Amino acid sequence: MRQIDHFISGGAGASATRFGDIMDPNNGGVQARVALGDAAVLERAVQAASAAQPAWAATNPQRRARVMFEFKRLVEANMDDLAHMLSSEHGKVIADSKGDIQRGLEVIEFCCGIPHVMKGEYSQGAGPGIDVYSMRQPIGIGAGITPFNFPGMIPLWMCGPAIATGNAFIIKPSERDPSVPVRLAELFIEAGLPEGICQVVHGDKEMVDAILDHPAIGAVSFVGSSDIAHYVYNRGVANGKRVQAMGGAKNHGIVMPDADLDQVVNDLAGAAFGSAGERCMALPVVVPVGEETAERLKAKLIPAIEALRVGVSTDAQAHYGPVVTAQHKAKVEGWIQTCVDEGGELIVDGRGFKLQGHEEGFFIGPTLFDHVTTDMESYKEEIFGPVLQIVRAANFEEALALPSKHQYGNGVAIFTRNGHAAREFAARVNVGMVGINVPIPVPVAYHSFGGWKRSAFGDTNQHGMEGVKFWTKVKTITQRWPDGSPDGGNAFVIPTMG
């Protein structure tokens, strides 16, 4: 059986004593196994990183950018293989896997301009004969703990800015679909990155804790559920690390009475059910404003949802594929039953879906609820599956309050033709990322990604200039070059620029 090993210092890591199963979500079978590491494995990676990082940091930014350019070319050349590898372990359809990788590559494109964004500030003549300037320097060694739902994009979001700014980087991917991060690390070496600068270690909580506790790792980036994000943030900060920890979401889509409902339904189909709903930027809650809007929207949603095609990840006609594991399938179906028990009106039931020839696959059909209320646990918590809930609002203010008061604050969207309503909503909603007639408002790579409330812990967002700031520290220099003649000043008084 195929085995996925650690990738340390340009090659496979130490022999493992523990392994995890990698499933094929399309047929329910075990397709490979992954080595599960511990603190000793991490120590090997840290030692390799410590040896390689000083020379990489001393490499001028333009040469580091050339590695990024070549890496981008290699990923594009290997896109088909990477996408099939990703789909085979995750279950998302091939087109979605390519989008996963392409979104990560857009951050790499931003990193190709690292010489420009690494420039510091300079003030000439800040005082008598005194100049002040600043420089950005790398943290040293960083680590990324990445989730199963974007095994291409999120490692690239993290490692691109970290490596481009002169750090060594250690990826701990999800043990459910670890092959793509390893292949990306291999392509980095092929692109000219020195061994030890990008490494991959596999593991479960034991490896996560080892990363959070290791004194040589200066910064940790995490994406996953909110409870674990909170744990990662607290433990990492307690150990003196810089930490950004992105958590869960319950994104709302507000539908105003003047919205183009045909476009809204098309957008909702992709945003709620694409990738089987396994996205932190999915849109699992739709909020029609007014009863008439709700009835018209539901009438259009039902046939659109019933027309969705669920298939294996290699089916080019499928809208989405299976969820990642049998355990996750059971969890999502449990939430569907919970919503029924809480009084939600089940309009389309995706439970019990079987795909002919793949009866053991982890498939869930699209599911639609109406008359969901804010006191339901199924509304409060993240379902992370192909389930869309309708929560009706009487007016704009009530619709605005729903995402603003929710425990999660990752993303939100409003659908309207009214510019004033859109502007008012964007300014007032208590959520980190807002889409206006855009159902999945993931910012472009030269902006930054990050939610509010229990969707994010830490003060710095992913990628863009926020990412550059996270992976670097600022050093400020105040300099004077005396001409040799004493100025009669008092050396015991704190210097001022007056």
Which amino acids are annotated catalytic? 280
CA torsion through residues 407, 411, 93, 68, sign: negative
The tokens 């709903």 sit on which residue?
Answer: 277
Size of the chain in residues? 498
**DSSP label of 228:** H
DSSP string, 461-496: -BSHHHHHHHTEEEEEEEEE---SS-----TTSPP-
Q: What share of the chain is helix, strand, coil (3-state, %, to 5)?
A: 40, 20, 40
SS3 per residue for 269-307: HHHHHHHHHCCCCCCCEEEEECHHHHHHHHHHHHHHHHC
DSSP state of 5: P
Q: Which of 336, 257, 270 is nearest to 297 (CA)?
A: 257
Tokens of 38: 């511990």
Phi-psi region for residue 150, left (φ > 0), alpha (ψ -120 to 50) or beta?
beta
Residues 424 and 400: their CA atoms lie apart, in Å, by 10
Rounded to whole angstroms, how far apart are CA atoms 218 and 283? 35
Give the count of beta carbons closer than 10 Å to the beta carbon of residue 91.
31
Tokens standing for 26? 């399309």
